[in-house]
Amino acid sequence: MLDFSIKPVSKEKRESIQQKIDTKTKPLGALGQLEKLALQIACIQNTETPRLQNPHIAVFAADHGIAQEGVSAYPSEVTAQMVLNFVRGGAAINAFCRQHNIALSVIDAGVNFDFQSHTSVISQKTAFGTKNIAHSPAMTLAECQWHLQKGAEWVQQLCQDTQCNIIGLGEMGIGNTSASALLMHHFTKIDLHDCIGKGTGLNETQLIHKQKVLTRAYHLHQPTLESANWLTALATLGGYEIVQMCGAMLQAAQNQLLILIDGFIASVALLVACQVSIHVKDYAVFCHQSAERGHEALLQYLKAEPLLRLNLRLGEGTGCALAYPLLESAVIFLNEMATFEQAGVSNITNEVMLG
């Protein structure tokens, strides 16, 4: 079993950081969620003058055997085709990363394609996709542990190479909303139908089919899952990219990095990571609430407040890239905005608001 030692976010400077926020030239709380974000970032870095250093987004890609059951609007081949699109720089995540000067890594965690000639794709896989969870466990326990380790090792290497202190995690994998819905249901006990959405764009008839397939799949594994620990549940229902994202989140939290959580699948990976240590969530920024049906309920379960609500349902880490400027603004106002004293502006009490 992998051993992660994750410390709670330091509260040593929390009071002084909050005081710094409160004495800026604005009414108390006037910058709303941006103030909470500034406090979180500063506490994670344990400093009153935080900074965002070498931001990096990783897209973990893998295929899913459950896609054979017709649970997606797109064929499995699209996973590999989109990875090649990432490599060529033509996807939404490429455009947004260029816009905000964010480095991007593409990780093959288990795509049903050989990318050997594409050296920019980081190969970390044991198989060309998981098994079909409608008929068998997705992977073995040994595979699951290996993929957790690989996700963790990627973060460790990134920190050594770039000294980055903020990473965003996204994914690509036809069928991964199905695996995520099953994991969400298992760990939250929220009704399975409320965890299942339209994914890449199913119509109502296709959605009903997806619900039936996933209900049968969960019932198949339920005897095992009733007494399973988190690792067995992840191996039974998960996907290779979800497992590696989970390992990456655990290592990032151990390294006390700021973790940008993308949409539904990334939030499910965090849900699993929280089974190992609840402190992981303290390092996470939930970038947006996606249009995927289960995401709102999952965010409520995690008591998470998303930064954006744009009805995104793309994945790829796009929510991370779009939210990143808000983190920059949170840091900039904390570091650069004048206090009442510095500006020579009369302060106000907590009870009186400026007009």
Q: Is residue 239 part of a domain?
A: yes
The structure tokens listed for 113 are 């394609």
Q: Give the pLDDT confidence score for residue 348 in this predicted structure.
A: 65
Contact (Cβ atoms closer than 8 angstroms) between residue 9 and residue 279: yes
Q: Is residue 262 part of a domain?
A: yes
What pTM was estimated for this model as a whole? 0.94
Q: Give the pLDDT confidence score for residue 235 in this predicted structure.
A: 98
Catalytic residue among 48, 143, 316, 336: 316
**Quick check: is 316 catalytic?**
yes
Q: Is residue 177 part of a domain?
A: yes
Q: Is residue 333 part of a domain?
A: no
**How many CA atoms lie within 13 Å of 201's alpha carbon, on the beta-carbon side?**
6
Q: Is 307 helix (H, G, I), strand (E, B) or coil?
A: coil
Contact (Cβ atoms closer than 8 angstroms) between residue 273 and residue 280: yes
Show the DSSP H helices in the chain as ranges.
Answer: 14-22, 33-45, 77-88, 92-100, 141-162, 176-188, 192-195, 204-225, 230-237, 240-254, 264-276, 293-301, 318-336, 340-343
List Cα–Cα distances, 196 to 174, 175, 303, 333, in angstroms: 15, 12, 20, 39
User: What's the sign of the alpha-carbon dihedral 239, 242, 244, 250?
Assistant: negative
Q: What gap in Å lies between CA 45 and CA 121, rounded to an integer?
A: 31
CA 263 to chain centre: 6
Which residue in 167, 138, 120 sits closest to 64, CA to CA?
138
Q: Is residue 265 part of a domain?
A: yes
Q: Is residue 276 part of a domain?
A: yes
Contact (Cβ atoms closer than 8 angstroms) between residue 231 and residue 139: no
Q: Is residue 31 part of a domain?
A: no
Report angle CA 298, 301, 302 to the nearest 5 degrees: 90
**pLDDT tens digit sequence for 257-298:** 999 999 999 999 999 999 999 999 999 999 999 999 999 999
CATH number of the structural domain spanning residue 220? 3.40.50.10210
Q: Is residue 155 part of a domain?
A: yes
| pLDDT-flagged residues of the chain (< 70) | 1, 348-355
Q: Give the pLDDT confidence score for residue 327 in this predicted structure.
A: 98
Q: Which residues contact 30 (CB under 8 A, 6 or more apart)?
A: none
Q: Give the pLDDT confidence score for residue 355 in this predicted structure.
A: 43
The structure tokens listed for 35 are 């103030």
Containing domain of residue 192, as a range?
56-325
Query: How many domains, the chain?
Result: 1
